[in-house]
Chain A
Amino acid sequence: MTTVRMRDLRKRFGATTALDGLDLDIGVGVTGLLGPNGAGKTTLLRCLATALAPDHGRIEAYGLDPADSRQRTALRRRLGYLPQSPGLYPNFSAAALLDYVAVLKEIVDPAVRRAEVRRVLEEVGLSDRANVKVRKLSGGMRQRLGVAQALLGGPDLIVLDEPTVGLDPEQRMLFRALISRLGETRTVLLSTHQTEDVGALCERVVVIRGGRAVFAGAPRALAQLADGQVWRSAGRPGGGAVYWRTAEGDYRTLGEQPPDGVAVPPSIEDGYLKLLGPAPAGTTR
């Protein structure tokens, strides 16, 4: 079910074009946003999170138009947002910070707020750090606190800008479990540079470059873009193909088939590189 529609979004910062006529539909479930640095991911997420108005174009989320101030407020009541730089106040304790954001989210009753704070701390595994000041939390814990504040009030639309940055493997796994649970009933849009996150947790992946969506589909479909172009070989591949030496001592190549190359199934990363990367020298189209 489509819950968010974006049409012809444009946003410029001075001479830089951050969004250049972006069209995107997303629905209930987890959608991952991939793209190189400066592609416009953060700008897109900020527009959807009502923190920034696009110069042009239309957004409709859960039937609400953020260009209209009433509908924008209504949308904010159903929204959770983790910015790329959350800027959590360093001198607030984890619980006090969440309590503050809960007030911003109009949870007025102190008892309800405390219960909600406790719930989200539990969700991200920070219950035992409730009284620790933000500045004394580790980077990964701070990141989890950022996710926790986005979950306050049980939002329908969850927008997360690089939520898995700095998480250790165990936390990454717990985060995936949490997000996929949320994705059963809610619309989750997250940006990431980790293609493993996308493969593990997103039903849909969108690749943006230069402020436009250049791919939208299943992660498997993204991987398939590199079908028949990923090889394993014992000998070092020649030419300018992209390759690296694996832990097993053989070579993995994306691009032209090495002399003794055997085709292997492509990964999401292969598909992504195929889609975006300049065609490796020596390959023919």
Chain B
Amino acid sequence: MLWIDCPWCGARPESEFRYGGEAHIARPDPATTDDAGWGDYLFMRSNPKGVHAERWMHREGCRRWFNALRDTVSNDVLTIYPMGTPRPDAPGDEAEGG
């Protein structure tokens, strides 16, 4: 089980949280985006073997959303940061995936 540091409630077990998938996927304007761009937005994911930027919600606590950087090999949560802010650098932030 992961151990996640909620910015408001402190460190809690993963079972209190809801996973929200990859972070920083911006919705393109459907009026000006072609099928490939829209498919990319809806379905394509970076799925790196390494550092992953992702969203979490403290479902059984404060019910607030935040972002995290996590290493998908060691499962260590490296950095917690607010939604809407750019992805910070993490130690060894070089993903193998694409």
Chains A and B belong together in one complex: no
- On B, residues with C-beta under 8 Å from A are none
